[in-house]
Amino acid sequence: MIMDWALLTEWTIKSLVLIFGLIGGFAYLTLFERKVLARFQVRIGPNRAGPHGILQPIADAIKLIFKEELIPAKADKIIFIVAPIITVIPALIILAVVPFGPDIRLFGRTITLYISDLNVAVLYIMSVTSISVYGIVLAGWSSNNKYATLGGIRSTAQMISYELALGLGFVGPILLSGSLSLVGIVDAQKNVWFFLYQPVGAFIFWVANLAEVNRAPFDMPEAEQELTAGYHTEYSGMKFALFFMAEYIKMIAVSAIAVTLFFGGYRGPLVDQFPVLGPLYFLIKVVAFLYLMVWVRATLPRIRYDRLMAFGWKLLFPISLGNVLLTAVGIGLVGITGNNLWLWFIPVSTILFFLLVSHFAQGAVAGGNK
Amino acid sequence: MSIDIILFLGLAVVAILSAAGMLFSRNAIYSALFLIINFSAIAVYYLILGAPFIALTQITVYAGAIMVLFIFVIMLLGAEQTGRTPASWWMRPLGMGLGALLILESLYLIFTHLHSFPQPIEIIDGFGNPGQVGEILFDKYVLPFEIISLLLLVAMIGAIVLTKKKMKR
Amino acid sequence: MSEYLPIVVLLILSAFVAGAAIALGHLFGPHHPTERKSLPYESGMTPFGPGARRMPVRFYLIAVLFILFDIETVFFLPWAVVFRKLGLFGLIEMLIFVMVLVVGFLYAWEKGALEWE
């Protein structure tokens, strides 16, 4: 029984570290984004609250807590209040299966740097993702506002469309590692990071991620010219803050998952000798991806909705399907010949396939212009 | 063992209450939400039975994908806004009759098989993990697996044929 | 089974944090609802018509196609895990499976089910 309490304490501490780490990450990601965007646009960005504006997120949080929250008269009150909660919970729990570093020894016991190592971790991520669409569609519907409803259903349709390419993106690393566990997938990248074998898979996964978290250039909910603010038009105060938080935590989460699947997770030089380096490498890689997200936002204009759907269905989906099959062929060739060099068949063939399909599908995706 | 039973009963309460909530909700969106809770409770049952792969597939496919379709259809029909339509005179007696039949059937099955229920078997290590599911599914059950693709194809064509007239204006 | 308990702990704590955030806003925010504030927001115009309207049938079609290909993706996962053991046989059976669905995909494309307008 004493052992159980120790375990429960360990789980609680790890969960709290993860939750508050993500919330803190969210707060400073907003500042990071504003600063970086400002640099891209030759501005300074927030610099009033504290030195270099580092207290800006705290000021924002205090402001949001003291804001008046409106509930539209004709809104469905229960769902209106529950929707932000069901949006934020999946964002907080999705990283439970991601290892942040190798096992470390602390207080005489081995501490694993993940919440849980499931043997179906990839499926866990997929199921949490599939649940996370409800918060958005329900927020839109319960507001009883035509822009919010349309925004909610559009975002949902967008998310489910890109979920296909996302789901198929997982299959490449699984084929290479033979494991559905993210701990297993990271261990399999001890020598070679999977993005070298899966350049197309990693790229598709990354693009689908941008759409999945509604980031630029796929930020339909924020297409203010068309939909005011999309599904969260009617939300204010802390309820709005929860949607905002979910969006930014999801950015961190998908970056962390992409790093784990394709870029070796916490692996890096000397990590086996000094396990403490693991979380550090992980953090550096995740920040690099977050920077990439902001960069994309600063560079690319928003895609029109019909083209966005065509892009997901006619380009990303066929390419990711082909990527999976060609990866399987490559691994099959290794199995038949027994020569590991055949693994390089995968990047060569998938890149050729990618170029071929994107050449032919170009017209189909842009074909919305009549 | 006792923890298993407490878990089982707790989940049973959740599953039954959410099913009842689905039936008695006036608002179709609420019904859909109750159904999502119900599917999730059933997924936890699979988990207790040592089938994590099926449990998470249940959440991904049923609670995730299929319920999104339900919610889209409810919004498509505007069904959550339509008030109660008056029931026809035959609906209530027919429903009660069918319900009674179902209860009688279940009671008959339970009491005739009271002594021949299969005993719980010890779950072997690694049972139900994706590797084992894959080995069995792609070896022993290859034909059903291939037939699934035909079923999916038929469903796809059906959906397109049904909506096509509206798509091509 | 026991490896799912930490996730349950995480789930409960996340729900608690999310609920606490809502409660915080509720406790400290002012509440002065007026009739005007409670109207749906339509960029300052007087709102007209019902709020939630019926949605286009396209969304239904997208959701159906999503379910079918989502099921396909779920089948990919155990296949990918045991692929090395299955070898050539595994590749061929999956190719047949995928080909049937690709036929459906091309049909959907040809019939304009993937077009938005």
Q: Pick the residue with more confidence: B124 or B66?
A: B66
Q: Pick the residue with more confidence: A1 or B11?
A: B11
Q: What is the pLDDT of residues A82-99, one digit of tens each?
A: 899 999 999 999 998 998
The CATH number of the domain holding residue C103 is: 1.20.58.1610
Say what the pLDDT of residue A369 is.
Answer: 47
Please check whether residue B75 lies inside any domain of the structure: yes
- Domain span at residue C40 reads 2-110
What is the total count of domains within chain C?
A: 1
User: What dihedral angle (degrees, nearest 10) is formed by the CA atoms of A342, A346, A352, A357?
Assistant: 150
Contacts of A253 (CB under 8 A, 6+ apart): A22, A91, A94, A95
Indicate whether B3 and B77 sit together in one domain: yes
Is the per-residue pLDDT at B169 higher than 50? no
Indicate whether B5 and B72 sit together in one domain: yes
Q: What is the pLDDT of residues B78-113, one digit of tens each?
A: 766 555 666 778 888 898 999 999 999 999 988 888
Query: ipTM for the complex?
Result: 0.87
- With a pLDDT cut of 70, the percent of chain A lying above it is 95
Residue C47 is classified by DSSP as P
Chains that touch B (3 or more CB pairs under 8 A): A, C
Closest residue in B to A118 (Cα) is B52
Domain final residue pick, B47, B81, B115:
B81
Please check whether residue B65 lies inside any domain of the structure: yes
Please check whether residue B113 lies inside any domain of the structure: no
Please check whether residue B122 lies inside any domain of the structure: no
Instruction: Name residues of chain C where pLDDT drops below 50.
Output: none
Asked if B75 and A156 come within 8 Å (Cβ–Cβ), the reply is: no
Please check whether residue C9 lies inside any domain of the structure: yes
Indicate whether B7 and B74 sit together in one domain: yes
The CATH number of the domain holding residue B43 is: 1.20.120.1200
Say what the pLDDT of residue A370 is.
Answer: 42
Identify from B4, B48, B152 which residue to disrupt to test chain C contact, counting C C-beta atoms within 10 A and taking the largest count.
Answer: B152
Q: What is the pLDDT of residues B21-72, one digit of tens each?
A: 988 888 888 888 999 999 999 999 888 888 888 889 999 999 888 898 888 8
Say what the pLDDT of residue B20 is.
Answer: 93
CA distance C52 to chain B (A): 8
Within an 8 Å CB–CB cutoff, is residue A84 touching chain C?
yes
Residues of A in contact with C18 (CB under 8 A): 84-85, 88-89, 92, 242
Residue C32 corresponds to which tokens in the numbers above? Answer: 């002065």
**Rg of chain A over CA atoms, in angstroms?**
22
Q: For residue B11, count other CB atoms closer than 10 A to its CB.
A: 17
Closest residue in B to A120 (Cα) is B53
Please check whether residue C6 lies inside any domain of the structure: yes
Please check whether residue C84 lies inside any domain of the structure: yes
Assess contact for B40 and B18: CB atoms under 8 A: no
Please check whether residue C82 lies inside any domain of the structure: yes
Within an 8 Å CB–CB cutoff, is residue A124 touching chain B?
yes
Indicate whether B77 and B151 sit together in one domain: no
Please check whether residue B6 lies inside any domain of the structure: yes
Q: For residue A51, count other CB atoms closer than 10 A to its CB.
A: 7
- Domain span at residue B60 reads 1-81
- With a pLDDT cut of 90, the percent of chain A lying above it is 18
Within an 8 Å CB–CB cutoff, is residue C89 touching chain A?
no
A137 vs A89, A140, B65, C39, C41, CA distance in Å? 15, 5, 13, 20, 18
What is the total count of domains within chain B?
A: 2
Is the per-residue pLDDT at B1 higher than 90? no
Residues of B in contact with C68 (CB under 8 A): 152, 155-156
Q: What is the pLDDT of residues A14-43, one digit of tens each?
A: 889 899 999 999 989 999 998 898 888 888
Looking at the partner chain, which of A120, A130, A153 has a beta carbon nearest the beta carbon of B130? A120
Please check whether residue C117 lies inside any domain of the structure: no
Interface of C with B in 32-61 (CB under 8 A): 50, 52-61
Please check whether residue B56 lies inside any domain of the structure: yes
Please check whether residue C116 lies inside any domain of the structure: no
Please check whether residue B94 lies inside any domain of the structure: no
Say what the pLDDT of residue A291 is.
Answer: 93
pTM: 0.89
Looking at the partner chain, which of C39, C55, C117 has a beta carbon nearest the beta carbon of A368? C117
Is the per-residue pLDDT at B134 higher than 80? yes
Instruction: Name residues of chain A where pLDDT drops below 50.
Output: 1, 369-370
CA end-to-end span of chain A: 70
